[in-house]
Structure 1
Amino acid sequence: MRLGIDGRKIPEARTRGPLGSIEHAAELGMEGTFFRTVLEMSPRLDRGELRAIRQRSDELGMYLETGLGKVNPYCTPETPELRDAGDGDILLGFRRMMECCAEIGCTELWVGTASSKGHYPRRFSVDRFRTDVSWADQMVAIEKFLGKLVPIARDLGIHMNIETHEEITSFEILRLLETLGTDALGVVFDSSNGLQRMEHPVMAAERVAPYVRQTHLKDAAVVPFEGGALMQFRPCGQGVVDFREVLAVLLAANPNVNLTIENEEPFDEGDKPYSARHLEICDASWLAAHPDLTVIEYAAYSSMMRTYQARMAKGEASDILRGSRRFGYAEALAAIAGSAAHIRECLRDITNSLPKN
């Protein structure tokens, strides 16, 4: 397993650009970069630009991963660049993006099903709870659109990998794979997004591990709060995710999968409040919207929260309610270094626990 970093959120990504960000990642000791969409590498899908990015990544001995975009037609107005890529024909836009990716040897491609909008309160921060269209109807539209993309991906030798994102459950992703097949579909396992759907990280990893082809690694603090839970992202090793267990599960299923740290983006200068998400996990209507959630997983999740809460009370974990913080360039680099050190320590422990021949 090689350890890299998210090309969108690496500090100074916008000012350095893709080539500069790859070099920055190498300077930070990373072994690869994962640009969320190929349009972030080249907004015009310029073949020359894409070949140069591939070449520089290869020169540095780094992996290069990328993706396509949201495959939920109800999100299309929020991502006009996908339609622009096809001159108004969004299906053509996806085809062009896939062809460009295949030409530079990027055949594992991220796709998302919706988006998260943290400035909205509680459940309305995720598209699962839109009031203009039900999540069930969105899932139908997602399946239909993926059904149009699968033959294109299959012909190009590509896997479109669905992220375990904030709005979708691992159960729902698995049903998409069961319906549409896995010859052109897989999973991007995000280690903490499932917490917002009350999925225990280890249990979620066990469900999707056979299909995981890309990763996003981040951690989060989660504690009981006001009839639900409060969640805040943390560097790997500083939250509730047991990375030794999660990585052992992923490694057993696919020892060659690349590991990508998805760090928090730095703020501008000055202090800002911690971004926290209130999860309404005790609300009857919230629970009704998660019919796959079992009592066993609910209990494991609750125990995980109480364990973190006890660590916080002892001063062994950072207080989720402590207020504002500075999180600029230096703090972001420190968080990345801490995440990388923790992941590498977990990998050493896993390797040392394997039977010796």
Structure 2
Amino acid sequence: MRRRDFLYRTTALLAATVIPSRFLAANSGKTLRVPLGLDGYSLRGMKWKATSLIKFAAEQKLDAVLLNGLNYFKSLEDSHLLSLKELANKANMRIYVGAGGICERSASFSNEHGDAKMLLAKGIHVAKTVGSPVVNVRIGSINDRYSEGGIESRIAESIKVLKALKSRALDAGVKFGFENHAGDLRSEEVLALIQEVGTDVCGSMLDPGNALWSMEDPMQHVQTLGPYAVCSSIRDYTVWQSAEGATFQWTAIGEGLMDAPAYVNHLATQCPGVPLFVETISNSQRPIPYLEDEFWEGFPNLKAKGIIGFLRLCRQGHAMDVDKPEAGADQDEFDQQHQRSQFLKSIAYLRKHCDAGLAQP
């Protein structure tokens, strides 16, 4: 099936996805529009908490804000959470939340909020209280593919946690959005996990930008997981050949290889009402040393045909420079301004070239 043929077909909607009525009502006409939002990680250099991020998103006339981790909240007390919900409501925005990694044997798991089940329980409560239809979760990073038992063991552990909290999530009217994060999972692995947990309570936190890290063509990643999307992320990308295999770099939307209009159209037709959160992570390069034997130890079941699309992209892309501050300039201030610029540039592109966003700037 051709990429655009898939992206434009209008079947295979994810049944029973919890979508804010305002987002659906805005699409009651002939032209479908995708709600546009801020992923707080785009402005990580600011070190802002939820209140500041919501206010910034409101200033940009966005439809939603994603707080993809409990660290964004100054407090998990209901009074604070309800005040955030009220703040967002006044700006006609919706809050989406994430709990982070729920695999205790992942190298990146944090026990700040207790064990994995306690963390997820808190995430469900936060989501319900602020009005988020989703709580995003994940395993960790590509390093987990090389851990004892491999990624299959980490997947099994995550499934166990999700099933343990399944009834609580259903009672709260909240779905799990499972994210492919930092190269930990390929789309077929995320899909198998979703189906094992149950599509009544689990969907995809669709992040095609991360697909490159696990040697996938991001748009093929969309084809596999798009019908299951309950939350989504976007950032552009480029990838090029290197002596060790390949190197990739994320970019502002419109500056890379991504077919952003096709991706936005996919969301509008396949999962109407699911917001598109801009998560710009530009200005850093990451290696994919697939020509080295050790790299494949993390992908023992992956066959050559599984990376054909990725290899085609490697031939299309070209190396990009990394922007640096002028001599003597403050690095933190440079990062803050660069991140803000990349985010605003991406929002402008999506509005102008993809008709994204319900609110008018």
Please confirm whether the aligned pair reaches a TM-score higher than 0.5, indicating the same fold.
yes
Residue pairs, 1:201-350, within 5 angstroms: 201-264=218-281, 274-284=283-293, 286-287=295-296, 289-290=298-299, 293=302, 295-296=304-305, 298-309=307-318, 319-320=319-320, 322=321, 324-326=323-325, 327-348=334-355
The aligned residue for residue 49 of structure 1 is 80
Provide the TM-score with structure 1 as the length reference.
Answer: 0.80
Q: 2:177 aligns with which of 161, 180, 189?
A: 161
Q: 1:143 aligns with which of 139, 144, 159?
A: 159
- For 1:295 and 1:336, the matched residues in 2 are separated by 35
The aligned residue for residue 58 of structure 1 is 89
The aligned residue for residue 173 of structure 1 is 190
Gaps of 5+ in 2: 1-33, 326-333, 357-361
Instruction: Describe the shift of the 1:30–1:188 C-alpha distance in structure 2 as closer, same or farther (beyond 3 A).
Output: same
Instruction: Describe the shift of the 1:29–1:297 C-alpha distance in structure 2 as closer, same or farther (beyond 3 A).
Output: farther
Q: Deviations over 1:187-246 (max 9, x none)?
A: 111121000111111111010111101111112221000131011221112222221222
**Is 2:42–2:278's contact at 8 Å kept on the other side of the alignment?**
no
Instruction: Describe the shift of the 1:346–1:149 C-alpha distance in structure 2 as closer, same or farther (beyond 3 A).
Output: farther
Q: 2:72 aligns with which of 32, 40, 59?
A: 40
* Residue 97 (structure 1) shift: 3.2
**Is 1:11–1:333's contact at 8 Å kept on the other side of the alignment?**
no
Q: 1:4 aligns with which of 37, 47, 56?
A: 37
Runs of 4+ deviating beyond 6 Å = none
- For 2:143 and 2:162, the matched residues in 1 are separated by 21
**The residue matched to 1:224 in structure 2 has which SS?**
strand
Instruction: Describe the shift of the 1:308–1:58 C-alpha distance in structure 2 as closer, same or farther (beyond 3 A).
Output: same
Q: Deviations over 1:249-304 (max 9, x none)?
A: 23221121101011238xxxxxxxx5321102234554464466565553322222
- For 1:135 and 1:225, the matched residues in 2 are separated by 26
- For 1:27 and 1:277, the matched residues in 2 are separated by 33
- For 2:346 and 2:354, the matched residues in 1 are separated by 12
* Residue 59 (structure 1) shift: 0.3
Gaps of 5+ in 1: 84-88, 116-124, 266-273, 310-318, 350-357
Provide the TM-score with structure 2 as the length reference.
Answer: 0.79
- For 1:325 and 1:148, the matched residues in 2 are separated by 47
**Is 1:73–1:145's contact at 8 Å kept on the other side of the alignment?**
no
- For 1:206 and 1:91, the matched residues in 2 are separated by 31
**The residue matched to 1:187 in structure 2 has which SS?**
strand
The one-letter amino acid of 2:40's match is G
Q: Deviations over 1:30-74 (max 9, x none)?
A: 33210012442244x111110011000010111211112212121
Instruction: Describe the shift of the 1:126–1:234 C-alpha distance in structure 2 as closer, same or farther (beyond 3 A).
Output: farther
**The residue matched to 1:160 in structure 2 has which SS?**
strand
Of all paired residues, the percent bearing the same amino acid is 21
**The residue matched to 2:200 in structure 1 has which SS?**
coil
Instruction: Describe the shift of the 1:11–1:82 C-alpha distance in structure 2 as closer, same or farther (beyond 3 A).
Output: closer
**Is 1:202–1:245's contact at 8 Å kept on the other side of the alignment?**
no
The aligned residue for residue 57 of structure 2 is 25
The one-letter amino acid of 1:325's match is K
Residue pairs, 1:110-121, within 5 angstroms: 110-115=136-141
* Residue 324 (structure 1) shift: 4.9
The one-letter amino acid of 1:282's match is L
Q: 1:70 aligns with which of 96, 101, 114?
A: 101
Instruction: Describe the shift of the 1:3–1:177 C-alpha distance in structure 2 as closer, same or farther (beyond 3 A).
Output: same
Name the structure, 1 or 2, with higher relative contact order (CA <8 Å, separation 6+).
2
Q: 1:91 aligns with which of 117, 120, 129?
A: 117
The aligned residue for residue 353 of structure 1 is none
Aligned residues: 314
* Residue 169 (structure 1) shift: 1.0
**Is 1:205–1:250's contact at 8 Å kept on the other side of the alignment?**
no
Q: Are positions 1:129 and 2:138 aligned together?
A: no
Tell which deviates more after alignment, 294-303 or 181-190: 294-303
The one-letter amino acid of 1:332's match is Q
RMSD: 2.4
The aligned residue for residue 194 of structure 1 is 211
**Is 1:167–1:197's contact at 8 Å kept on the other side of the alignment?**
yes
- For 1:92 and 1:136, the matched residues in 2 are separated by 23
Q: Deviations over 1:134-163 (max 9, x none)?
A: 222222212222221222212222101001
- For 1:158 and 1:240, the matched residues in 2 are separated by 34
Instruction: Describe the shift of the 1:134–1:191 C-alpha distance in structure 2 as closer, same or farther (beyond 3 A).
Output: closer
- For 1:82 and 1:188, the matched residues in 2 are separated by 22
**Is 2:37–2:63's contact at 8 Å kept on the other side of the alignment?**
yes
Instruction: Describe the shift of the 1:91–1:287 C-alpha distance in structure 2 as closer, same or farther (beyond 3 A).
Output: closer
The aligned residue for residue 133 of structure 2 is 107
